[in-house]
Amino acid sequence: MKKIFKIILNTIPRPILIRLSYVIRPILAFLLKGNTFTDPIDGKSFSAFLPYGYGNQRNNVLSPSTLSLERHRLLWLYLKNETDFFTNTESKKVLHFAPEQCFYKRFRNQKNILYTTTDLLSPLADVKADICNLPFEDNSYDIIFCNHVLEHIPDDTKAIQELYRVLRPKGMAILQIPQELARETTFEDDSITDNVERAKIFGQYDHVRIYGRDYFNKLRSIGFTVEEIDYTSNIPENDVVIHCLAKGEILPVCIKK
């Protein structure tokens, strides 16, 4: 199965994968019914999660029901347990880049947020836009989600500046990225052009860098106040296992001054 998933991920364009997933997802959820792992987003349990990865594949990471990965489940738990995102009574304007299926309908149906999605290619995007040149006014949004997007953007400094510009003062942006915490500085090499080699080195063929711990200071240099939250250390170890989270993954929670 791992080999099949790798071939699918590396050969079928992502917009087509998104459309196909609506048909395949119910079948996978039925076949993998069980009680070993639980997706906190919909509360459903399975005998196993699916493998995932463009380069090195990880076992038990892709939820059969919501198609969430470790980062999505971590963000969901943080929002649910540590913020008023789901419960606030004042309407908040939310901007979501490259909206993930596991969140899209749930966020769209929330009565307490005004929800806008944006991306260049995603069929789920309300607004087709370049993250480096956003068509939104300054200080427009209370909350921004931009998860595993910046590693695709050649000029990520410009992209982060745009995120800062459209976020309201005291607004919150959660800007997750794939990161090697053992790496002090971010690594880029434009001379590597072969897709197989890029997937091997960068983790995915369309990534342009591997972020190190300097990512947080990069966010601060743009103007954000950044809290580096290791949320897996704040919840029971058993929950980390049951929800198939990545132990030690950091949530960059950014506040505009």
pLDDT in tens, 159-183: 999 999 999 999 999 999 999 999 9
pTM: 0.87
DSSP secondary structure letter of residue 57: -
pLDDT in tens, 201-233: 888 889 999 999 999 999 999 999 999 999 999
Distance between start and end Cα atoms, the chain: 47
Let me know how many helices (H) and strands (E) the chain has, helices first: 8, 11
Question: What superfamily in CATH does domain 71-256 come from?
Answer: Vaccinia Virus protein VP39 (3.40.50.150)
pLDDT in tens, 61-90: 999 999 999 999 999 999 999 999 999 999
pLDDT in tens, 187-203: 999 899 888 888 888 88
Extents of the domains making up the chain: 2-69, 71-256
pLDDT in tens, 111-122: 999 999 999 989
Q: What angle do CA 122, 29, 61 make, to 5 degrees?
A: 65
> Which stretches does DSSP call E strand in 161-223?
167-174
Distance CA(226)–CA(13), nearest Å, equals 34
Average pLDDT over residues 237-257: 97
pLDDT of residue 16: 54
